[in-house]
Amino acid sequence: MKTVRVAAAIIRREGRILATQRGYGAYKDYWEFPGGKIEPGETPEEALIREIREELAVPVLPERFLMTAEYDYPEFHLSMDCFLCSIAAGEPALLEHESARWLMKEQLADMNWLPADLLIVERLQRETEDL
């Protein structure tokens, strides 16, 4: 099975976490943490910065590695490096997503997450530090 490596941003602001809703593909309308594929020669952090600029038009600051989520989709294996991040400046613009919401940690479980992103939600709910 082919492995796809991606980086995801858990963007935090004022105690809330940004969730984005897919507007295309087989998982249209599911919620996810923004990010995307790691290109050859890129570090996960570099990919994250590039992808968030492309998807949300804001500069993001990766602050701390959280986890690597491993998930087998029917078509491929996903390996997703996840980082706690903040926005350096500006407000996110939805260039690729259908919708976005700033959620409290307690609200995360209320969304219809992609299967791999649900692993991140479960981890965030166990985190003891302030998000």
* pLDDT at residue 83 in the model: 98
Q: What CATH superfamily classification does 3-126 receive?
A: Nucleoside Triphosphate Pyrophosphohydrolase (3.90.79.10)
Domain boundaries, the chain: 3-126
* Chain centre distance of CA 73: 17
Token pair 């259908």 is found at 98
Please provide the average confidence, as pLDDT, over all residues in the chain. Answer: 95
φ, ψ for residue 118, nearest 5 deg: -60, -35
Token pair 């700033």 is found at 102
> Which ranges of the chain have pLDDT less than 50?
none
